[in-house]
Amino acid sequence: MPTAILPLPSLIRASAWDAGNMSMRKAGRTKWSRADWNAAAATQDRLRTGCYGNGPEGCIKFQVAEALEREGYLSLHMTKKEFFERVETAYADATSQTV
């Protein structure tokens, strides 16, 4: 049984969207401005790097996790160990096939 909320890419993106909406509402707007997009991007970057790492490797791992989640290979019903083993294995497979 999972003991922590897993960093599914869809949850990270939803958190970023929420941050943009909060920024918009706090400023009294009904449409997003550049500041709201920046708040969303900063939140996504902070969560992504905290969960998947910095730099190109972290970006690729996040993209790999997105693909795994989309295909049903990642879910909230996994242990943290299973979750990250799947991401790491798929990342290793993806990067070993590069030219």
| Number of neighbours of residue 48 by Cβ within 10 angstroms | 21
**Whole-number Å distance between alpha carbons of 63 and 57:** 10
What is the phi/psi pair of residue 75, to 5°?
-155, 170
Q: Where does 27-79 have alpha helices with state H?
A: 34-52, 55-70
Residue 95: per-residue pLDDT: 85
Q: Tens digits of per-residue pLDDT, 25-74?
A: 999 999 999 999 999 999 999 999 999 999 999 999 999 999 999 999 99
- Return the closest-CA partner of residue 9 out of 60, 55, 82, 57: 60
